[in-house]
Structure 1
Amino acid sequence: MATSGTTTLPPLHRPSGSAAAAITRDEKMVIFASSLGTVFEWYDFYLYGSLAAIISKQFFSGVNETSAFIFALLAFAAGFAVRPFGALVFGRLGDMIGRKHTFLLTILIMGLSTAIVGLLPSYATIGVAAPIILIGLRLLQGLALGGEYGGAATYVAEHAPPGRRGNFTSWIQTTATLGLFLSLLVILACRTALGPSFETWGWRVPFLISVLLLAVSVYIRLQLAESPVFKRMKEEGKASKAPLTESFLRWGNLKIVLLVLFGGVAGQAVVWYTGQFYALFFLQQTLKVDPQTANLLIAGALALGTPFFIIFGSLSDRIGRKWIILAGCLVAALTYFPIFKGLTRFANPDIAAAEAASPVTVVADPKDCSFQFDPVGKTQFTSSCDVAKSWLAKKAIPYRNEEAPPGTVAAVKIGGTTIPSFAGRQLAPADFKAQSATFDKAMGGAVKTAGYPAKADPDKINYVVVLLLLTLLVIYVTMVYAPIAAWLVELFPARIRYTSMSLPYHIGNGWFGGFLPTISFAMVAATGDVYYGLWYPIVVAVITFVIGALFMPETKDRDIQHA
């Protein structure tokens, strides 16, 4: 990637002989400090995702139940939407003023934004200002995280000896999973200690705890010195004065940025978020597993799967980064449907049994059906089709669609029973409420008779098999994620590395990955097929496999000290 005329910086000093294979004390400090600070930053970021169901009630209570949850997911995704802009802002600073100072700034922004969420009044207290402020804080978190990852990965890689970059940076790759793991543990501890109060005010405690984590993180990072590669570039006058221009307005580098996005990071992102966040949402929202049980199962899978980050990171030092990542994308795409169907069978077998014995079908005129997403809570979904689908979506009951002649009032078939819906567009509010109550009573009795459970029966959950399936999803995550930091660092020259690698990474993870829960659940709500949302990560992963296999290079033996 170095252009003609660039000077190769001298290699970092490293003891010869057997000592060369060991990690020195200073290197351990670099890995520990960078990783620990990043764990805390991911903890801050993922608290929101882990508590999305509660936050939707606290801050979006002015909209209907289905829209509230999707809107809460969008607020979660808002933090991802701005990550590429954070990558531009902080990536530029990192390439101009240094890696250390930049990711000190990002962690301060992240930690303070998270703590304020813990103090923010709810919708019931200050009205629409609550969700507006919340989304503003999420935007600040996303900006900060956009500058964090590139700095930490670059900093660690530039300290790593040749032949060990995959191993060294794989510790950074564990931080997102460990941050999620830490957030789940803190939430579980608070739920257990506070009981029912957690749903009303106790959910704020995990956010407030981030103040302590922030203090620890800042203290540790203040002990670090600047990256030796960056210091040498500065001393020799090789640091970039216009990293954005060099990164994105020169075709030679921009081409690599685009290939990295579509041939690497996009697939990695959807596999990552499917294996952790979508799996958690699927357990809680679709399979109706108790939130505490779902969090414990995900935490257990993370604990079992996390060592594979180091395994695959070290393996990439021997056989290369490219094919481990692409293999993870391909195997995930091929097995997602059987794995998630297995989760249904073993986490809530009553849903699978009821669906097999008494399938649900919405018979409606397609023109009578809306895409039921109302982020501002002003749209009334009162057509007969919308009434039926809204009821089923709230109860997370899978259904099929059957087209009816134009003008037909929608009906719901549950096994051998047919429940007529009602056309509510012309009804007065009182009449609509009365009709809704009648419909609700009829539907509730029918789905109960058909065996559709209100919640997963804890005695029927096969905890071992569910844990194994979730762990398999986490192992896919480690395949695609463990080698990617080293791969990104090796693809770009040192003078614009922070900027160049950060943007495609955060577009991929911020947009392709961050919007996955929202897109997938909206797809499910539109079709009634609880597995339909899996097509999104499958298609993206396959595209990445094809582009990566054809166009992406292997980089494990590259010298990364070129300015």
Structure 2
Amino acid sequence: MSDPGGENGAAGATPAGEPTARDIRLVIAASSAGTIFEWYDFFIYGTLAALIGAAFFPAGNETLQLLLVWAGFAVGFGFRPLGAILFGFLGDRLGRKYTFLVTVTLMGIATAGVGLIPTAASIGLAAPIIVIGLRILQGLALGGEYGGAAIYVAEHAPPEKRGFYTSFIQASVVGGFVLSIIVVLACRAAIPPDAFAQWGWRVPFLLSIVLLAISLWMRLKLSESPVFQAMKAAGETSGNPFVESFTYPRNKRRIFVALFGITGVLTTIWYTAFFSSLSFLRGPMRVEEELVEIILMVAGGISMGFYLVVGRWSDRVGRKTPLLIGALAALVLLFPVFWGMGALANPGLARAAEATPVVVTGSDCTTDPFAEMLGGEQSGCGKLLETLTAAGVPYSIEQGAAPAITVGGAQVAIADDWMEDADARRVGILSALTDSGFAFERQTPPIANVAGIIALILVMGMLSALTYGSVAALLAEMFPPQIRYSSMSIPYHIGAGYLGGFLPLISSYIVARSGDVYAGLWYTWAIVAFGAIVAWWGIAGGPPREFGEDAA
């Protein structure tokens, strides 16, 4: 690294040939398309979580099976920081372009591989092990993708339009989620339901090969980033970007702010807006699966425009203002939005729970969905709670000697085999609740309610856009160019990988332990609250600045 004391370094240097408007349009289009395809590959796993659970993680326990699927989802995110270190090093040493060509290739191959794995019924434990292995490869690839695409666009963009141009990368993340839903819906329409559940769900994974070919074709047309070319020509590239990311003056402070004040906020809001909504509506609210996918597709598609608006706005007011507004608004609106979705999605459930409250009595009334898998056993009361939680039924607990359930004050007769047979217990409890006015069939809310649900998800989409829309520009401006790929990728993927990637697993576990379908939102609320404090303290205010123009 040259001249560590001179913070501008090669930040503003470009080779003689400036990129033309046509070049920049190609850069944005190719980078955004590649990002859409790569995130499609990653999100198709979450979109098809229920079918993947049945194929690769059969557990005989609905709650445990879902948690195992989300654990597999989280594993991919857990390896993103390692991918950020590896590909960040290569991106700062060898260049932005070829590094993210490698990442998109690795992602496409790993995703297609999931579509080729035999089920657990065919090859036993090898099936989930192979799935986890491919998720690890996906996580490594994604760890290098975002930094490469974001920096590549940022280093082509004029400073006064950097927020707007890079916001296409942020919108493309949502685009990958929307594309995954579109493909799933198209496959459901073309393949009979039984066949889709048996083998048709593999088609969206196998389509990754086609998307990979398109992405590679577009990205091969690109030239290297002008900033990197200038640094390379001047001999100013970093010798060891990973080490220098932690030794460059004041960079550890920047990494801390990027991790908690930026990424922690944006990633938990993003996953809550889209994945928690998806899981919440499909699961405890029991809305028809295809309708849920259509709702998320519409809301996600509209939300993509919010990111572009926020990115353009940040070019005028700076990057800090939108992020803080979004974070503080999320703390106020998070619970009301989900309460509203629940009331609109399944109003009968809330009315039944209010009219005929469910009370569980017993000793040791706690539930641990992992207990039996780890060689232990839940208490009788815990087993009752687990069944109610999986059904989305709210309850209260009272201490007592033997496990018991009352619905609206009436005692439910517990059959002898309920404590040993999960299926018998589920059928018996749901039957008793149905007789008392609860409805457990899949819900198709009226069109007005569906419109209301979309509107509430759009509120979450706007909060996500406020905290995410200008982030690529913000992170690119925070770090010196010679270690920029590594310095922004490491905190981004630690935050997105652990704080965000583990969100579905952690929030689902909180719900399973508490029995409150809204309790998992406290995880998001806590991360955003802490992140808002860090962002207020650590992000420079005012108009956007090039690296080195402020004391951040």
TM superposition score category, shorter chain reference: over 0.9
Give the match for residue 166 of structure 2.
169
* Contact 1:229–1:561 (Cα < 8 Å) also in 2: no
Distance 1:434 1:170 in 2: 52
TM-score for the superposition, normalised by structure 1:
0.92
Give the match for residue 115 of structure 1.
112
Measure how far apart 1:103 and its partner are.
0.3
Matched, 1:389 2:347: no
Give the match for residue 462 of structure 2.
475
Distance 1:483 1:237 in 2: 31
Distance 1:91 1:10 in 2: 21
Whichever residue aligns with residue 27 of structure 2, its letter is V
Matched, 1:144 2:141: yes
Give the match for residue 124 of structure 2.
127
Distance 1:272 1:217 in 2: 24
Question: For residues 101 and 252 of structure 1, do their structure 2 counterparts lie closer, same or farther at Cα, with a shift above 3 Å needed?
Answer: same
Give the match for residue 510 of structure 2.
523
Give the match for residue 239 of structure 1.
237
Whichever residue aligns with residue 491 of structure 2, its letter is P
Measure how far apart 1:380 and its partner are.
5.9
Aligned positions of 1:80-479 closer than 5 A: 80-196=77-193, 197-250=195-248, 252-365=250-363, 367=364, 369-373=366-370, 377=373, 379=375, 381-402=377-398, 404-405=399-400, 408-419=401-412, 433=420, 437=424, 439-440=425-426, 442-460=428-446, 462-479=449-466
Distance 2:54 2:421 in 1: 25
Whichever residue aligns with residue 412 of structure 1, its letter is I
More displaced 10-residue stretch of structure 1: 95-104 or 383-392: 383-392
Measure how far apart 1:444 and its partner are.
2.5
Distance 1:234 1:548 in 2: 33
Aligned positions of 1:54-93 closer than 5 A: 54-93=51-90
- CA deviations 1:422-470 (Å, max 9, x no partner) are 8x9xxxxx79557973x55542332112322213431546111111111
Distance 1:466 1:247 in 2: 44
User: Structure 1, unaligned stretches of length 5 or more?
Assistant: 425-429
Structural RMSD (CA)? 2.4
Distance 1:435 1:210 in 2: 38
* Partner residue of 2:37 out of 37, 40, 51: 40
Distance 2:291 2:418 in 1: 40
* Contact 1:384–1:421 (Cα < 8 Å) also in 2: no
Q: Secondary structure at the residue paired with 1:413? A: strand
Whichever residue aligns with residue 351 of structure 1, its letter is L
Distance 2:96 2:493 in 1: 17
- CA deviations 1:457-509 (Å, max 9, x no partner) are 31546111111111111111111110111100000000000000001111111
Measure how far apart 1:249 and its partner are.
4.1
Q: Secondary structure at the residue paired with 2:517? A: coil
Question: For residues 432 and 517 of structure 1, do their structure 2 counterparts lie closer, same or farther at Cα, with a shift above 3 Å needed?
Answer: closer
Measure how far apart 1:527 and its partner are.
0.9
* Contact 1:388–1:421 (Cα < 8 Å) also in 2: no
Question: For residues 14 and 280 of structure 1, do their structure 2 counterparts lie closer, same or farther at Cα, with a shift above 3 Å needed?
Answer: farther
Distance 1:469 1:151 in 2: 33
Question: For residues 298 and 313 of structure 1, do their structure 2 counterparts lie closer, same or farther at Cα, with a shift above 3 Å needed?
Answer: same
Measure how far apart 1:330 and its partner are.
1.2
Whichever residue aligns with residue 450 of structure 1, its letter is S
* Contact 1:272–1:477 (Cα < 8 Å) also in 2: yes
Give the match for residue 427 of structure 1.
none
Whichever residue aligns with residue 396 of structure 2, its letter is R
Whichever residue aligns with residue 481 of structure 1, its letter is Y
Distance 2:299 2:466 in 1: 15
User: Structure 2, unaligned stretches of length 5 or more?
Assistant: none
* Partner residue of 2:477 out of 486, 490, 494: 490
Measure how far apart 1:54 and its partner are.
0.7
* Contact 1:371–1:526 (Cα < 8 Å) also in 2: yes
Give the match for residue 550 of structure 1.
537
Query: % of aligned pairs identical?
Result: 42
Matched, 1:505 2:492: yes
Measure how far apart 1:351 and its partner are.
1.0
Q: Secondary structure at the residue paired with 1:558? A: coil
* Contact 2:13–2:230 (Cα < 8 Å) also in 1: no
Distance 1:93 1:12 in 2: 20
Distance 2:288 2:90 in 1: 44
Whichever residue aligns with residue 511 of structure 2, its letter is V
Distance 1:199 1:431 in 2: 29
* Contact 1:90–1:146 (Cα < 8 Å) also in 2: yes
TM-score for the superposition, normalised by structure 2:
0.94
